[in-house]
Amino acid sequence: MSLQKKLAVLFVFSAFIPFASPPSFAAKPSYEVEYQKARSHYYSLLASQSKIQDRKEWLSVVGKFYSVSQKWPNTKRGADALYTQGLIYENMFKRFSMASDGERAVELFLEVTRKYPSSPLMDDAERHIGDIKFLQ
């Protein structure tokens, strides 16, 4: 095979290399990976009869969402993580009857309304604030 033919074959095969490997843009962003990990821990907590009774388990899950909301506040998942922290504290308030949990939930939901006024979560955050204040 002549050098010219070898180069032509090499050129043709090299043109298909980008299609043989997954594109780099297909990888999930770090904030999405971390948010999904936190979410998985939350669902694991809710599914476990022993964990659900342990306030420390709830706080551990809150910490995972807090990390996402602090590292990536300007992403959709930053808003989702902040809102989910509010949900968790609201659930803790109902489960453990600690006023400080209800107060923290209200603070977090208010933060959602301030930081993300155009988020679809804003209306839900306001509703949760009303629900918590009604229970207090």
**CATH number, residue 67:** 1.25.40.10
- Condensed to tens digits (0 to 9), the pLDDT of residues 1-23 reads 655 555 444 454 454 444 444 55
Instruction: Say if 89 falls within a structural domain.
Output: yes
- Which amino acid, 64? K
Confidence at residue 28, expressed as pLDDT on a 0 to 100 scale:
85
More confident call, 17 vs 100:
100
Instruction: Say if 90 falls within a structural domain.
Output: yes
Instruction: Say if 97 falls within a structural domain.
Output: yes
Within a 10 A sphere around the Cβ of 54, how many other Cβ atoms?
12
Number of domains in the chain: 1
How many residues are present in the chain?
136
Section 18-42 average pLDDT: 78
* Closest among 101, 9, 15 to 58, alpha carbons compared: 101
The pLDDT-based confidence of 75 (bands split at 50, 70, 90) is: very high
The CA angle 76-63-71, to the nearest 5 degrees, is 40
Provide the domain limits for residue 74. Answer: 27-135
For the chain, what is the mean pLDDT? 88
- Condensed to tens digits (0 to 9), the pLDDT of residues 56-67 reads 999 999 999 999
